[in-house]
Structure formats: C-alpha cells, structure tokens
C-alpha cells in the first residue's frame, strides 16, 4: 500500500507539478511572492517565470484563475522573437473570481474585487475597486465607502 506522502509525490510528478501550500492542482511556475493567508483554488495557475509576480496577504483567489506574466502571441505569429514578460502586482485583501485572467502589467490595488470571468490586462486598478468583464470595466473606489463605514472608529 502506498502512503499519502508517496502518492502525492507520484501524483505531482505525473502531472508535471511541484508541491505547494495551496492545492495539488495549483500550478506555480517561477518564483512568485505570495503573502500570508492567501488562498488559491484548484486548477489555478500562477506563472511568474521570467517576471516578478507579487500577490499580497489575505487574498482569495478562486479556482480556475490564470495569473500569467508571459505573453507569447506575438512570437507565435512571428511578430516578435521572444515571449514578452511583464510584472504583476496584486495588493492585499484582493478577491479574484473563478475563471478570471490576470495578465502581465496588471497592478491591482488592495481591497479590490475581480469578478468571475474577468480579463485584467496591463492596467492600474485603484484600491477598493470592482473590476468586471472582458474587456474589463473598472469601477474605482467601488467598495471604499462601505469599508470606511465598517472600519470607522467610535469617538
């Protein structure tokens, strides 16, 4: 009988993945910086190969999310000789919904929500924003007033 650790090791080798603290079906490529208490759901990928990807603390990244610093489309159609790689920054307390894509050059401010199915390209997203759709619509400061009310200190 195979023990659990041996099975996990064999399984990860079979699917060409490495062990990570999130889920055996989360693919981590390169060396992203991921803050404490951040969760990443199964079938998600964080590709930081050749770029800096920083994900803050206390983020909730759903299943089937792609965070990908690499873009090979120009190389594939012979308009470039190399894969373009751009850094990605995701602030603290960010929620990223299922089936979303975060592409190189994106800078997402803290306490923001990326709605399910959203594609975030190389844009600046202000803190407390709601981002939804493809092409993405950014509603800056959408959650700021509610956050301030909830965290207001009594006098």
- CATH code, domain carrying 85: 2.160.10.10
Q: Is the pLDDT of residue 18 over 60?
A: yes
Classify residue 62: in a domain, yes or no: yes
Q: How many folded domains does the chain comprise?
A: 1
Q: Which residue has the tokens 């610093």?
A: 69
Classify residue 78: in a domain, yes or no: yes
Classify residue 155: in a domain, yes or no: no
CA neighbours closer than 13 Å in the CB half-sphere of residue 74 = 9
How far apart are alpha carbons 102 and 122 in whole angstroms?
9
Domain that residue 106 falls in:
26-150
Q: Is the pLDDT of residue 11 over 90?
A: no
How far apart are alpha carbons 81 and 155 in whole angstroms?
61
Q: What is the pLDDT of residue 57?
A: 98
Pairing status of strand 130-132 against strand 137-139: antiparallel
Q: Is the pLDDT of residue 155 over 60?
A: no
Classify residue 130: in a domain, yes or no: yes
pTM of model > 0.95: no
Classify residue 11: in a domain, yes or no: no
pLDDT digits (tens, 9 = 90+) for 108-139: 999 999 999 999 999 999 999 999 999 999 99
Give the range among 32-36, 116-120, 149-153 with minimum mean pLDDT. Answer: 149-153
Classify residue 73: in a domain, yes or no: yes
Classify residue 14: in a domain, yes or no: no
Q: Is the pLDDT of residue 153 over 80?
A: no
pLDDT digits (tens, 9 = 90+) for 40-72: 999 999 999 999 999 999 999 999 999 999 999
Mean pLDDT of the chain: 95
Beta carbons within 8 Å of 112's beta carbon, 6+ residues apart: 91, 94, 95, 125, 126, 127, 128, 129, 130, 131, 143
């Amino acid at each position: 009988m195979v023990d659990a650790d041996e099975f996990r090791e064999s399984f990860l080798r079979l699917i060409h993945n490495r062990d990570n603290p999130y889920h055996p079906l989360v693919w981590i490529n390169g060396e992203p910086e991921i803050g404490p208490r951040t969760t990443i759901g199964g079938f998600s990928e964080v590709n930081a190969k050749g770029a800096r990807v920083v994900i803050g603390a206390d983020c909730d990244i759903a299943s089937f999310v792609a965070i990908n610093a690499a873009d090979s489309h120009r190389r594939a159609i012979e308009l470039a000789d190399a894969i373009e790689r751009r850094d990605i920054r995701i602030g603290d307390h960010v929620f990223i919904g299922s089936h979303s894509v975060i592409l190189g050059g994106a800078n997402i401010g803290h306490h923001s929500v990326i709605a399910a199915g959203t594609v975030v390209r190389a844009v600046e997203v202000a803190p407390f924003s709601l981002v939804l759709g493809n092409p993405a619509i950014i509603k800056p400061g959408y959650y700021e007033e509610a956050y301030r009310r909830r965290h207001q200190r009594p006098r």
